[in-house]
Amino acid sequence: MNHVELGRLGEERAAEHLSSRGFLVLDRNYRFMRAEVDIVAATDREIVFVEVKTRNSTSFGEPEEHIDDRKKRQLFKVAEAWLHERRMEGSPVRFDVISILRPGRSDEKINHIEGAFWRL
């Protein structure tokens, strides 16, 4: 499985994970300029922007360790654009990370980090 297929499988598993926990998935792979957010979901209280990181192993660290400040800034920009397009500025928002190890395998591990980071 190449890295694109691995990423798609991870995003699919993350969306299933969110849905099974009562989140409503509103959008997937939303792009603004050159930035993208993997999943936009909602709870009864807030809009949740989710970055999904998928890996087959932890040889290079945990998947969530690969989100740097540049990526966070991109996510904030994309979130603002998504909210603006839908006239939802001012809505309560949260930024989560879902890391997935070995997606689709019997030893799959999903780690959902709610409120993983805030504006820099």
**68-104 tens-digit pLDDT:** 889 999 999 999 999 999 999 989 999 999 999 888 8
Q: What is the CATH number of the domain that holds 53?
A: 3.40.1350.10
How do 35-42 and 47-55 pair as beta strands? Answer: antiparallel
CA distance 19 to 43: 10
Strands 109-113 and 93-101, sheet pairing: antiparallel
Helix (H, G, I), strand (E, B) or coil at 74: helix
Q: Identify the domain containing residue 104 by its residue range.
A: 3-67+92-113
Q: Is residue 87 part of a domain?
A: no
Q: What is the pLDDT of residues 13-36, one digit of tens each?
A: 999 999 999 999 999 999 999 899
Answering whether pTM is above 0.85, one says: yes
pLDDT score of 117? 85
Q: Which comes out higher in pLDDT, residue 60 or 91? A: 91
**18 touches 39 (CB < 8 A):** yes
